[in-house]
Chains A and B, each alone.
Chain A
């Protein structure tokens, strides 16, 4: 198998209605499997959130990462995703999250480090066009001179790769520190210091509404790689709903690493 390029594929865009955190987790698993099985063309999915969430990595300890009592008090769902990496705090409108479901051939022969940087090169370009000097910081961060902008994670399924990223648009840092157990040494990694009230690298550096940044990112992708508008198929949604209920809303999965 030789490496394929972006333009070798017929990229599809899904940017639909707000979904629950558990359904988002399930859609990632279903869609990467659809691409692996060849039933779906490679796809960019932009997420919209129906409710707040803490999303922990596949290998993180629930107890070590999340203050469950504070999360419950704020009405925040805690879910575990299928990729590794660190915990994220999400409130609707405060982050930009997207997933790429790509054939494994796109990262053929690349190191993990190179694979991460390649999948987000279009985002770095989009941010530069918006006036943000951003760069990839190995292993899996997009950063700028005022701190971290985004964290990425990948998971492989058969002949496909899930690459998803959450970018900080305007995060309530005080609330984040109440629900995530972050050691002082990790604060810098979350793009904040304990005194900060907001972590808002995208909002403060562009002055643009979240929707305008998303629109620009989509246009950058379309221009560089080609992109056709698409929607989720009914069977994909149905499978994701079943999986959300049986797995991602199930404490057995969320607390698999206690």
Chain B
């Protein structure tokens, strides 16, 4: 559980899917903390922690494709996603880094 309020916020509604939200902090041009959330479905639910871990320490210069590849590589092949994809998470993260989704 984290009580810190993340400084950067990005959202992406996956076409034909659900909303993916990225809340994160950047330090020294790296993702220093991150929380992915949204109204998507993931089996098993522990896969969300794997996604967050995969994004940690990613460079802010990482492209959407780089971020998606990091996530895909970290997930057990048996993980099932519904309304969410590695690509959709990457877009939300990229938007958060770029400050496009800041409320």
Contacts and interface: CB of A to CB of B under 8 A. Distances in A.
Interface of A: 57-61, 63-64, 82-87, 112-113, 138-140, 153-156, 185-186, 251-252, 255-258
Contacts, number: 70
Contacts of B42: 58-59, 84
A258 B3 CA distance: 7
Nearest to A85: B39
Interface in B56-103: 80, 82-83
B35 A154 contact: no
A14 B36 CA distance: 36
A85 B2 contact: no
A139 B82 contact: yes
Given A252-B1, A256-B1, A258-B35, A154 B41 contact: yes
A139 B45 contact: no
Contact of A64 (B3, B18, B37, B48): B37
26 contacts: A58-B45, A59-B36, A59-B40, A59-B48, A60-B37, A60-B38, A60-B39, A61-B23, A63-B5, A64-B21, A84-B39, A84-B41, A84-B42, A84-B45, A84-B83, A85-B39, A86-B39, A138-B16, A139-B82, A153-B41, A251-B1, A256-B1, A257-B37, A258-B1, A258-B3, A258-B35
Residues of A contacting B: mostly: loop
Interface string B1-30: 111110000000100111101010000000
A59 B39 contact: yes
B43 interface: yes
A140 B84 CA distance: 13
Nearest to A62: B37
A59 B43 contact: no
B94 to A, nearest CB: 18
B1 A57 contact: no
Contacts of A258: 1-4, 35
A61 B45 contact: no
Contact of A257 (B3, B13, B35, B40): B35
A63 B35 CA distance: 12
Contacts of A64: 21, 23, 37
